[in-house]
Amino acid sequence: MTRSPSNTVKLAPPTERDAWVRHFAGAFENAVIGMTLLGTDHRRLTVNRAFCEFLGYTEAELLALSLEDLMHPEDAQHTRRQLAALLAGEKDSFRREIRYLRRRADVAWGDFSCTLARDLDGQPLFFITQVQDITERKRAEQGLRDTQAMLHLAAQVGRLGAWAWDVGAETLQWSQEACAIFEVKPGFAPTPAQVMRFVAPAYRANIGATLKACLRGGSPFDIEVQIVTAKGRPLWVRFICEAEWDAHGRVRRLQGALQDISESKGAQQEILRLNAELEERVHRRTAQLEAANRELEAFSYSIAHDLRAPLSSIDGFSNTLQESAGDALDERSHHYLRRIRAGVRQMSELTDGLLSLASLSRADLRMEPVDLAALARRAVAGCRERSPQRAVDVVTSDSLPARGDPRLLAQVMDNLVGNAWKFTSRKARARIEVGGTQGGDGQWVYYVRDDGAGFDMAYASKMFEAFRRMHTSAEFEGTGIGLAIAHRVITRHGGRIWAVSEPEKGATFYFTLGTTA
C-alpha cells in the first residue's frame, strides 16, 4: 500500500509556479550546495553553478549525461529505485551518501538528498536534488580507520590488552591480547577471585588495597605487578585502571589496560615512538574533521539565514490573499492556504533551530554562577502560560548551583523542561521533576524527569543528532533540534548528557557540567 504524498513539495498552477521559479532562480543558481532539477524520466532539466564546479563539467555537458555516467554503478541503481519509490508515493524524500565520477576521473563523495515536486492535484512535476561535497570528510574518516588499524597493530606488537568489569558482575571482560598475556584461551572471562590468583603472592595485598580504594572513590591508578600465567610463566605487567560513575555518584564500572613489560626497554622505547607517531596522526585527522564541521556549520547558518526572507514573503502574501479574497475562495482553496502557512511556520522553526545550533559554536562562553533551579522554574512558567489547561505537578529543587553561560544554560533547561512538558501531554495529570545530586568530589549531576511517553533505549545513541526524532510528528509536534542544542551547549561547558527511559514509563535526562558552582 502506497503512502499519500502529502509531505512532498506541491506547487501552484503554472502562472504562480513560474513566478515561484523566477523568485528562487537567484538562490538556486548562487547556492553554495550543488542543486539540480531532474525530470520524472531521470533526465536533468537544469543544474546550478555549484554542481558544475563539484564535478568539473559544464552545464551543457551535465544535461547530456545520465545517472550512470556520473555515479558509481551501485549508487546509480539505488538512486533509480528510490526515484521510482518517490513517484509511487511510497516515501516523501530520500538521502544517501553517493560516489560521483568527476571529469578528471577521480571519485568524489556527495551527501545527496531528493524531494519530488507535485502540482496541486498531486501529479509529479520534477525531482529537486541537492548534493553537498563531503569528499574531505570521507577521506578524514578513512584516515581515522587507518589509524585505528595501526593502533590495533601497535597493541599486538606492544603486548597491550584491555579489560573491563561492571561492578558486581560475576566475571571480567578480557580482550584477545589480555588473554594472550595470561596465556589462556581467547574469550576467557575470569572472576575477580581468579584474577587475584594470577597475581604473585607478594603483590596481592597491594593490588587488593588499590582496587578497593578505586571502588570507594574512583581514583585511577597505574601500577606494575608480577603475575604468574596459566602456564606457570612469571611476567611483569603494567596494570592501568579508570572508573566510571552512575547517576548517583557511585562507581559502576572499572576498565583499563594490561601491558606485558617483561621484554627489553629498547622494545618499549620503540612502542612509545610508534604511539607518539600515531597520536600525531590522530591529532591531524581530528583537526581535519573539526575544520570540515566548521565549514558545514557555516553553510547551515548561511542557508538558514537566506531562507528567512523568502519564507516571510510567502507567509505574508498567503496571509494577504486569505484576508483579501474572503468569501471569494471556496473551502478547498482556504484549506490549501492553511496548509501553505502551516508549512511556512514549520520551515521557519527549522531555520531558527539551524541558526541557533550554528551560533552555539560561534558564541564565546560567559562563565558565571547560575542557579539551574531558577532557570527551570522560568521554563515551567512559560509552558504553563502556553498551555494553561494542563494539569501538571512540577517538583523543582530549591537551588541547583552551577557555573556557566546563563543564556546558553537557559536554552538547555527550556529544551529539557519543554520536552518533558510535551511528552506528558497525553496524561490527564502529569508529573515533572527537576533536581540534582552532588558527589563526594563536588561534581553535580542534574536531571529532568517526567512520567510521559518515554522511548526505546535501542535508539538512544541517535537522540542528540540534529532533526532526529524519537516519535513521529503525528504523535508529538516539534523540529527535533532541541536535544541537539542541549547536547552542544553541555559539551561546550565540558560536561555530558545522557538519558534513561522506557516506552510509556517516562524519561530522565541527566547531565553534568565541566565546572562546579
Write out pLDDT tens, residues 218-259: 888 898 889 999 999 998 898 889 888 887 778 898 988 888
- Whether residues 96 and 205 share a domain: the answer is no
- Whether residues 113 and 189 share a domain: the answer is no
Residues 385-391: what's their mean pLDDT?
91
Tally the domains of the chain. Answer: 3
Residue 23 has pLDDT above 50, yes or no: yes
Any idea which of 71-75, 182-186, 332-336, 437-441 has the lowest mean pLDDT?
332-336
Q: Are 356 and 481 in contact (CB under 8 A)?
A: yes
Residue 304 has pLDDT above 80, yes or no: no
- Whether residues 502 and 379 share a domain: the answer is yes
pLDDT at 294: 62
102 CB-side CA count, 13 A: 15
> DSSP assignment, residue 398?
S
pLDDT at 277: 82
pLDDT at 513: 93
pLDDT at 463: 78
**DSSP H or E run through 399:** none
Higher pLDDT pick, 16 / 348: 348
pLDDT at 352: 58
Domain containing residue 46: 1-133
pLDDT at 120: 82
Residues 364-383: what's their mean pLDDT?
91
pLDDT at 302: 58
Residues 292-307: what's their mean pLDDT?
57
pLDDT at 94: 92
Higher pLDDT pick, 480 / 428: 428
pLDDT at 472: 59
Higher pLDDT pick, 196 / 472: 196
- Whether residues 29 and 71 share a domain: the answer is yes
Residue 303 has pLDDT above 90, yes or no: no
Residue 204 has pLDDT above 80, yes or no: yes
Residue ending a domain, choose from 235, 262, 289: 262
Name every residue whose Cβ is closer than 8 Å to that of residue 358 and which is 6 or more positions away in sequence: 297, 298, 300, 301, 304
- pLDDT-based confidence at 2, cuts 50/70/90? very low
Higher pLDDT pick, 327 / 493: 493
Residue 326 has pLDDT above 70, yes or no: no
- Whether residues 188 and 256 share a domain: the answer is yes
Residues 387-411: what's their mean pLDDT?
92
Residue 292 has pLDDT above 80, yes or no: no
Single out the residue of 262, 264, 220, 272 nearest to residue 237, CA to CA: 262
Residue 7 has pLDDT above 60, yes or no: no
Q: Looking at residue 387, which CATH number applies to its domain?
A: 3.30.565.10
Residue 339 has pLDDT above 50, yes or no: yes
- Whether residues 427 and 481 share a domain: the answer is yes
Q: Looking at residue 1, which CATH number applies to its domain?
A: 3.30.450.20
Write out pLDDT tens, residues 407-426: 889 889 998 999 899 989 88
pLDDT at 12: 46
Name every residue whose Cβ is closer than 8 Å to that of residue 368 and which is 6 or more positions away in sequence: 403, 404, 405, 406
Which ranges in 119-170 belong to alpha helices (H)?
135-157
pLDDT at 166: 92
Q: Are 289 and 137 in contact (CB under 8 A)?
A: yes
Residue 317, domain member (yes or no)? no
- Whether residues 398 and 484 share a domain: the answer is yes
Please report the DSSP string for 219-268 in residue order.
--EEEEEEEE-TTS-EEEEEEEEEEEE-TTS-EEEEEEEEEE--S-HHHH
Q: Are 512 and 444 in contact (CB under 8 A)?
A: yes
Residue 340, domain member (yes or no)? no
Q: Is 107 exposed, middle or buried (0-12, 13-18, 19+ CB in 10 A)?
A: exposed
pLDDT at 420: 93
Residue 33, domain member (yes or no)? yes
pLDDT at 348: 61
Residue 377, domain member (yes or no)? yes
- pLDDT-based confidence at 299, cuts 50/70/90? low
Residue 300, domain member (yes or no)? no
